Amino acid sequence: MKTVNIALPKGRLGEKVYELMKTAGYPCPELEAGGRKLIFENAEKCVRYFWVKPSDVAIYVERGAADIGVVGKDILLEYEPEVYELLDLNIGKCRMAVAGKASFRDSAVHTLRVATKFPNIAKTYYAGKCRDIDIIHLNGSIELAPILEMSDVIVDIVETGTTLRENNLEVLETIVPISARLICNISSMKFKAETVNTIRRSLEEQVRQGS
């Protein structure tokens, strides 16, 4: 059997995904030992895991360095990588939303200033509403932008809502629900179809049992 390379998003989501893979019959004891190592292999089970920065998972899978990986739907919508989306894992749930000050009232007279880490999602959303926007592309701490009056609103991930609450902001519109997805490289789907499909079916079964 050919080894399947799996890109796991570093952090809590990746650990959950590894637990699912372990239950599915693909454990890797060395990975559980922790430390700073990034690649782990279980040669007997023909799997090799990599810890990857969550926003980079789709790049590894698109370029074939990983055959499969797990990535938030937000990344798929933002970067539109050429990969197959195989399964909604029903974990890592949150939503993409427009947020701002509770007092904010939109007026079509002005171009809307939107701060975000997700310019493509924001552009597509407002294009659908025929609303002119000025994108302010930031890399983090997006909530600062409306507080400092640099933007009118933000387009960002909301999970628990704590960050918004603690900064006196609120959700104004929900754009789309987000969850973690299993993705696969286009040629791996052909050349490693058997193993990839076995993993997909097993994860699907666990998602079904968990829901």
If you search the block for the tokens 């809502």, which residue do you land on?
161
Cβ contacts of residue 69 below 8 Å, gap of 6+?
6, 7, 8, 9, 52, 57, 58, 60, 61, 182, 183
CB closer to ligand PRP out of 111 and 174: 174
Q: Is 144 in the site for ligand PRP (CB under 6 A)?
A: no
* Residue, CB closest to ligand PRP: 140
CB closer to ligand PRP out of 117 and 200: 117
Contact with ligand PRP (CB under 6 A) among 68, 89, 112, 142: 142
Furthest-apart CA atoms within the chain: distance in Å = 64
155, 169, 80: which is closest to 125 by C-alpha? 155
Contact with ligand PRP (CB under 6 A) among 42, 55, 90, 163: 163
Window of 32-40, 65-73, 108-116, 161-169 that interacts with ligand PRP by CB under 6 A: 161-169
CB closer to ligand PRP out of 133 and 142: 142
* 58 class by beta-carbon count within 10 Å (0-12 exposed, 13-18 middle, 19+ buried): buried
Q: Is 140 in the site for ligand PRP (CB under 6 A)?
A: yes
